[in-house]
Amino acid sequence: MKRTLNIVILSLVIVPCIFSSCQPNKKTEKAIEQQEETTWNADEQELIVLVEKLLFAVGNSDFQTLDSIISDKANLGSAILREGASTNSIITIGEYFESQKNRERKPFYEPVNEYKILINKGQIAFVWADATLHSYGVPRTNNIDNFTLIKEDGKWQFINISFTNTPLPEELKKFDLEVFAKSYAQVWCSQRPTFVSSFFSENGVLQINDGSPAKGTEAIANVAKGFMDAFPDMVVSMDSLITKSDKTRFYWTLTGTNNGLNGTGNRVKISGFEEWTLNEDGLIQESKGYFDEKEYKRQLQFEKDK
C-alpha cells in the first residue's frame, strides 16, 4: 500500500513541476486542431490517440476498453473543487471499477483543448491535458487531466490518472449544437442503448427511412439496441452538421462487423443523416433518419466492395 501511495504522490508532484502554467485554457478548439498546428512525433501522436480513447471510453462507461489500456496496478486521484474547497480522493483502478457497478450512469463528452507531453527514454510518459467536460452539448466543468504511462511488452499502459474538476462560470454554460452532435455520435458507439435515447425528449420520436416511428425513449432505446446487437464493434462518426431554419441535419457514417446473433460476419460501412427538430431544452424532439437500405442489405450479404 505504501508503494502504491508513493507512485500516486510522485506522479502528482512531478507532473505539475514538469508542466508549468496549468491555468485552464478556455478555448473550444479540438485537440486534433491543435495537433495540426503542433508537430508531434510518432510516440506523442500515439499517446494522444490513447488518451482520446480513454476519455471516449470513460464518457461511454466502456469499462471493457478501459480495462484493456489501464494497468491493473494503476491508481486514480481526483480533486473536486467546489466553492473554494477541494474534495480529494486516491483509489485503485480496481476500486474505481467496483464503485461503478451499481451506479446510475449518464454519458458525457470530454474533448481536450491542449496537450503537453514529456516522454522519458521512450518508456515512461507524462501527459497533461486541459479538457472541457460537456453534458448534452453544454460545457459543465474544466478538467485538468494528468496521465502517467509506462510501456509494458511494448505497449503503453496507464499507471496513474489524476485530475482536477472545476465548475465553469454560468455564463460559459451555453448549449453548443456541434458538441451535442459529436456527443450523440459518441454514444452510438457505447453499446448502451439508453445513452442514445437520453438525447431525446421523453416523448421524442425517431423514424428511420419508411419504418414505423419509435415513440418515447424506451422505443428509441430498442431501435439503438437493434443496431448495437447486430454490430458489437459499431462505430458511428459525425461527417457534418447543417442547420436550416428549425431543422438540423446530422450526417453520419456507421462502420461495424455484423457479428451479432445470426449475423453474416460481414463488414459494413454505410452513410446517412438524421434530420432533427430540437425542443427548448436542447434535446431531440423528432428525428427522421435516412440511409440507403438497399446498399446496407447488400453489404450485409456480400460485404462492402464485393
Contacts of 127 (CB under 8 A, 6+ apart): 47, 48, 51, 115, 116, 117, 145, 146, 147, 149
* Every domain of the chain and the residues it spans: 2-172, 177-302
- Asked, colleague to colleague, whether 2-172 and 177-302 share their fold, the answer is yes
Q: What is 2-172's CATH number?
A: 3.10.450.50
Can you tell me the mean pLDDT for 116-141? Answer: 98
Q: Is the pLDDT of residue 6 over 60?
A: no
Can you tell me the mean pLDDT for 45-62? Answer: 97
> What is the structure's pLDDT at 175?
97
CB atoms within 10 A of CB 303: 16
Can you tell me the mean pLDDT for 261-277? Answer: 96
CB atoms within 10 A of CB 223: 19
DSSP 184-207: HHHHTTTT-HHHHHTTEEEEEEEE
> What is the structure's pLDDT at 246?
87
Q: Is the pLDDT of residue 14 over 80?
A: no
> What is the structure's pLDDT at 33?
55
Can you tell me the mean pLDDT for 32-49? Answer: 81
The model's pLDDT over 212-228, given as tens digits with 9 standing for 90+, comes to: 999 999 999 999 999 99
> What is the structure's pLDDT at 36?
56
Q: Is the pLDDT of residue 17 over 70?
A: no
Quote the pTM value. 0.86
The model's pLDDT over 59-75, given as tens digits with 9 standing for 90+, comes to: 999 999 999 999 999 99
Topology classification of domain 177-302: Nuclear Transport Factor 2; Chain: A, (3.10.450)
> What is the structure's pLDDT at 61?
96
How many CA atoms are closer than 13 Å to the CA of 18, on its beta-carbon side? Answer: 19
3 state SS of 142? strand
pLDDT band at 245 (very low <50, low <70, confident <90, very high): confident
DSSP 289-305: EEE-HHHHHHHHHH-TT
> What is the structure's pLDDT at 305?
61
> What is the structure's pLDDT at 11?
40
- The type of residue at 53 is K
Q: Note whether 237 and 252 are within 8 A (CB).
A: yes
> What is the structure's pLDDT at 304?
66
pLDDT band at 31 (very low <50, low <70, confident <90, very high): low
Can you tell me the mean pLDDT for 45-56? Answer: 98
Pairing of strands 267-278, 247-257: antiparallel
Lowest-pLDDT range of 19-33, 166-180, 290-304? 19-33
Please return the burial class of 286, using the count of CB atoms within 10 Å of its CB with bins 0-12, 13-18 and 19+. Answer: buried
> What is the structure's pLDDT at 79?
98
Contacts of 49 (CB under 8 A, 6+ apart): none
